[in-house]
């Protein structure tokens, strides 16, 4: 019997490479997967970073805009400060100019004040001269009379005196008898000197221009009837003026218009009381000089006019 031999071929089987290829491909696929995963993750990370960067950029842009706004505000504020500085400089300059003008004005005012003070002094001097003019006139009359016939009569009575009101006072007893307006001889002698003295004084134009009138005033005491006393005092003052004109024709011809008469009766006494001494003092003739108000007004008007001219220069 034949033994059937299996026919084993002595042929070595070819190596099976398929599993290895599969592994390689798997590996490659896995690698690709990981690469893709890595790329994806990287994209995620990059996207996140990009968003962060965008946010940072936006924040930076906002900060820049805020900074720009602050810079713009600062520029506006600086511009306002510059404007204020310019205004301040302009005000300072105006103040300096005004100060200079004020100083000039002050100096001008000082000059005006100094000139005004000088003018006031001159005005005061002129007014003082006018104020003492009437006293000066009567004092000259008094001195002229005293020079010619003395200061007192034989009985020791003063011929004329200057009263507190700066008027010449003539004692009635020297000119009139009691209750009479007829001038006594002694009175005529006294009035003759008055007539000469008044003419001499009125001949001086610098004095005459300021005189308005020379008033002869008659007074009585408080005894008797007031109406009778008023009439008596008026007749006595008129008798004195009439005699002055009669005594000196030159006085009447040139200056009669300056003389006036008035009777005050028992009013305006210079001594009070019921004694005979007081009553004797009140019985008197007074001579007063009235100064022209117009001359005083002209002096003041001239001063004011000169002052206005200086102020308007």
Output the tens digit of pLDDT for each of the chain's 313 residues: 555 555 545 545 555 555 566 676 777 777 777 777 777 777 777 766 667 777 777 887 788 788 788 888 888 888 888 888 888 888 888 878 887 877 777 877 777 777 667 767 776 776 666 666 667 777 888 787 778 777 877 777 788 888 877 788 898 888 998 889 999 999 999 999 999 999 998 999 988 888 899 999 999 998 989 899 999 999 999 999 999 999 999 999 999 999 999 999 899 898 888 898 888 888 999 999 888 876 666 666 666 666 656 556 6
d(CA 197, CA 130): 20
pLDDT tens track for 125-141: 766 666 666 677 778 88
d(CA 159, CA 142): 9
Instruction: At 46, list the tokens.
Output: 């990059």
d(CA 138, CA 128): 16
Give the percent of the chain with pLDDT over 70: 79
Going by C-alpha positions, the residue among 168, 243, 254 that lies closest to residue 204 is 254
Note the CATH number of domain 134-299: 3.30.1330.60
162: left (phi over 0), alpha (psi -120 to 50) or beta: beta
Max CA pair span of the chain: 237
Per-residue pLDDT at 8:
47
How is the beta sheet containing 259-265 ordered, strand by strand? 160-162, 168-171, 284-291, 211-219, 259-265
pLDDT tens track for 82-114: 888 888 888 888 878 887 877 777 877 777 777
d(CA 221, CA 176): 14
User: Distance from CA of residue 272 to its chain's centroid?
Assistant: 49
d(CA 196, CA 202): 10
Measured in degrees and rounded to the nearest 5, phi and psi for residue 309 equal -60, -40
Does the model's pTM come out above 0.85?
no
d(CA 218, CA 237): 5
Domain ranges of the chain: 134-299
d(CA 233, CA 261): 10
């Amino acid at each position: 019997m034949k033994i059937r031999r299996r026919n084993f071929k002595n042929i070595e089987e070819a190596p099976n490479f398929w599993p290895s290829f599969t592994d390689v491909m798997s590996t490659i696929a896995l690698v690709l997967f990981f690469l893709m995963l890595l790329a994806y993750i990287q994209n995620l990370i990059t996207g996140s970073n990009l968003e962060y960067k965008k946010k940072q950029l936006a924040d930076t842009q906002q900060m820049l805009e805020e900074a720009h706004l602050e810079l713009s505000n600062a520029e506006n504020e600086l511009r306002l400060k510059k404007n204020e500085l310019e205004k301040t400089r302009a005000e300072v300059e105006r103040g300096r100019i005004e100060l200079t003008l004020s100083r000039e004005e002050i100096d001008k005012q000082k000059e005006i004040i100094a000139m005004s003070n000088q003018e006031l002094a001159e005005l005061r001097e002129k007014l003082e001269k006018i104020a003492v003019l009437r006293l000066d006139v009567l004092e000259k009359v008094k001195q002229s009379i005293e020079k010619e016939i003395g200061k007192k009569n034989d009985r020791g009575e003063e011929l004329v005196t200057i009263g507190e009101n700066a008027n010449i006072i003539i004692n009635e007893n020297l000119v009139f008898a009691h209750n009479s307006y007829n001038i006594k001889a002694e009175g005529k002698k006294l009035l003759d000197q008055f007539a000469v003295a008044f003419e001499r004084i009125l001949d001086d134009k610098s004095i005459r221009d300021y005189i308005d009138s020379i008033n002869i005033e008659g007074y009585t005491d408080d005894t008797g009837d007031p109406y009778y006393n008023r009439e008596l005092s008026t007749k006595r003052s008129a008798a004195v003026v009439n005699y002055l004109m009669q005594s000196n024709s030159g006085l009447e011809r040139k200056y009669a218009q300056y003389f006036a008469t008035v009777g005050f009766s028992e009013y305006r006494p210079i001594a009070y009381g019921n004694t005979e001494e007081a009553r004797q003092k009140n019985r008197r003739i007074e001579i007063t000089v009235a100064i022209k108000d117009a001359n005083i007004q002209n002096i003041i008007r001239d001063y004011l006019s000169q002052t206005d001219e200086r102020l308007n220069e």
